[in-house]
Amino acid sequence: MRALNAIRVSGAEVLPLIEGGKGISISNGVSSGAWAASGGIGTFSAVNADSYTPDGRLVRQTYEGKTRRERHEELVAFGIQGGIQQARTAYEMSGGQGRIHANILWEMGGAERVITGILEGAKGLVHGITCGAGMPYRLSDIAARFSVYYYPIVSSARAFNALWKRAYHKTREWLGGVVYEDPWLAGGHNGLSNSENPEKPEAPYPRVAALRKTMNEFGLSDTPVVMAGGVWCLREWEDWLENPEIGPVAFQFGTRPLLTKESPISDAWKRRLLTLKEGDVFLNRFSPTGFYSSAVNNGFINELRERSERQVAYTTEAMGEHTEGFPTGPRGRLVYLTPKDAARARAWTVAGFTEAMRTPDGTLIFVTPEKGAEIRRDQIDCMGCLSACRFSNWAQHEPDYSTGKKADPRSFCIQKTLQDIAHGEDVDSNLMFSGHNAYRFATDPFYSNGFIPTVKQLVERIATGD
């Protein structure tokens, strides 16, 4: 293994090892501060970050507003308050070592307001902003305003080219690095485009080499590329070090920091990670964002898959092959199905899936009355956690704060399930994001006999190449 040399990131010489900024409360001030204290770059999640009372008790994010807009304002306030507290914790724990970054999702509700509020309330404590899930053109302006570095997450050279030409060329001095996130291997939301096949992964090297070539054309040959998604141990990436086709490079670890003493996830979640097998992480498109995402294939994912499989196309009038009337709803309003689909629908109804719910695509899905009531309740309780949500049809833009489409019952309330798994023990009935390499916890000798390292121990291990 080649020597791991320091690299200049966010204005300081640090190890080229970055803690990935996972979503709601999964990387926080404690985990990121410990990572920075070990000489790397710690990243806390600024997505609905947790707040605490003066005596250290968690403030659960409950909403009092009667309308979605009112609840959205509460959510923004929660996000700012929590982000400031996490930034302070991270900075204090770092002891002046390493760097502290904040991670946001551009498509989260109120993203610009939240990160602006955090940077205003935690001036000098955050050194960089990492941002993905969308095309964050205005990220550079926010970073420049507060004199912090910005790190856009992209999955192709083409995406960075668009960001640079439209906005980033104006604030090049604050571009700290470009994160290439492998859209087939990363956990959470993935940047697969419509032209890319989710079932045919492409090797990262040629894609990152193309990104470096584009960056060099813009005079960014000294700006680091951050390789993210699918990174387990550096020994497997040794040929990227001191490689002129890749240039200065750092590596982001999202999955491995989950299994540390400082990681805020539950013990049940940590135990589950130690049992995963190859293929247990599922690339799917159930997310209300509309993006692909990678999550553990548990009861939550299985229910969503089965929900979509119990689906048939319908018409409101008899036409073509849709000749068989089928009663739906409390009034028994007729829709028309093909004879084959009508037989399937009757079988689902006999099995207890008696609730037929309409989707925006002219189809019906069949669920139990209990699941139908849960879906409707979650849609009504929407607090606008995304800029646009296909599950609830919320959109944060005036005048009507709607996507203009019907709410989609094939999806789910992402805020609800991520808050529940972050603050509870139920890891089967909630969304458990994970990178596709998580199965390696069970085979890596470092974790033998259920060993869970401290962040410092993990960073030291990674620095050896393993």
pLDDT of residue 418: 93
3-state secondary structure at position 315:
strand
pLDDT of residue 162: 93
In a domain, 356, yes or no: yes
**What angle, 0 to 180 degrees and rounded to 10, lies between the N-to-C axes of helices 68-94 and 29-37?**
30
Angle at 453 between CA 447 and CA 454, to 5 degrees: 165
Phi first, then psi: what are they for 45, rounded to 5°? -80, 125
Q: Which pLDDT tens digit goes with each residue over 422-463?
A: 998 899 999 998 899 999 999 999 999 999 999 999 999 999
| DSSP annotation string for 257-282 | GGSSTT--S-HHHHHHHTT--TT-EE
Q: Are residues 122 and 149 in the same domain?
A: yes
pLDDT of residue 265: 94
In a domain, 448, yes or no: yes
Q: Which pLDDT tens digit goes with each residue over 197-232?
A: 888 889 999 999 999 999 999 999 999 999 999 999
In a domain, 363, yes or no: yes
- Nearest CA-CA partner of 239 in 41, 465, 8, 6: 465
Question: What value does the mean pLDDT take over residues 259-266?
Answer: 95
Q: Are residues 213 and 313 in the same domain?
A: no
Contacts of 66 (CB under 8 A, 6+ apart): none
Provide the number of structural domains found in the chain.
2
Encoded tokens for 192: 């697969």
In a domain, 155, yes or no: yes
Domain extent for 25: 7-279+441-463
Strand ranges in 92-246 using DSSP code E only, listed in sequence order: 99-105, 128-132, 149-154, 178-181, 188-190, 225-228
pLDDT of residue 136: 87
In a domain, 293, yes or no: no
Q: What is the mean pLDDT of the chain?
A: 93
pLDDT of residue 3: 73
Q: Which pLDDT tens digit goes with each residue over 288-334?
A: 998 888 999 999 999 999 999 999 999 999 999 999 999 998 888 99
Q: Are residues 228 and 323 in the same domain?
A: no
Q: Are residues 92 and 54 in the same domain?
A: yes
Q: Are residues 201 and 345 in the same domain?
A: no
pLDDT of residue 337: 95
pLDDT of residue 421: 93
Q: Which pLDDT tens digit goes with each residue over 270-292?
A: 999 999 999 999 889 999 998 88
Q: Which pLDDT tens digit goes with each residue over 87-111?
A: 999 999 999 899 999 999 998 999 9
pLDDT of residue 448: 93
CA gap 429, 34 in Å, rounded:
30
Q: Are residues 314 and 360 in the same domain?
A: yes
Question: What value does the mean pLDDT take over residues 380-392?
Answer: 95
Q: Tell me: pLDDT of 27 over 80.
A: yes
pLDDT of residue 25: 84
Q: Are residues 327 and 233 in the same domain?
A: no
Q: Are residues 206 and 245 in the same domain?
A: yes
CA gap 105, 427 in Å, rounded:
23
pLDDT of residue 197: 84
Report the C-alpha dihedral over residues 241, 244, 247, 251, rounded to 10 degrees.
Answer: -30
Angle at 174 between CA 109 and CA 110, to 5 degrees: 10
Contact between residue 453 and residue 261 where contact means Cβ atoms under 8 Å apart? yes
Q: Are residues 53 and 118 in the same domain?
A: yes
* Measured CA distances, 11 to 17, 44, 223 (Å): 15, 18, 12
In a domain, 109, yes or no: yes
Question: What value does the mean pLDDT take over residues 115-121?
Answer: 96
Q: Are residues 379 and 414 in the same domain?
A: yes
Strand ranges in 333-427 using DSSP code E only, listed in sequence order: 333-337, 355-358, 363-367
Contacts of 352 (CB under 8 A, 6+ apart): 368
Residue with tokens 């960075």: 160
pLDDT > 90 fraction of the chain, expressed in percent and rounded = 83
Encoded tokens for 314: 């319908």
In a domain, 292, yes or no: no
pLDDT of residue 196: 82
CATH of the domain at 12: 3.20.20.70
3-state secondary structure at position 329:
coil
Encoded tokens for 280: 């247990």
Q: Are residues 208 and 180 in the same domain?
A: yes
In a domain, 289, yes or no: no
pLDDT of residue 280: 94
| Stronger pLDDT, 343 or 193, i.e. the higher one | 343
pLDDT of residue 82: 95
Q: Are residues 373 and 458 in the same domain?
A: no
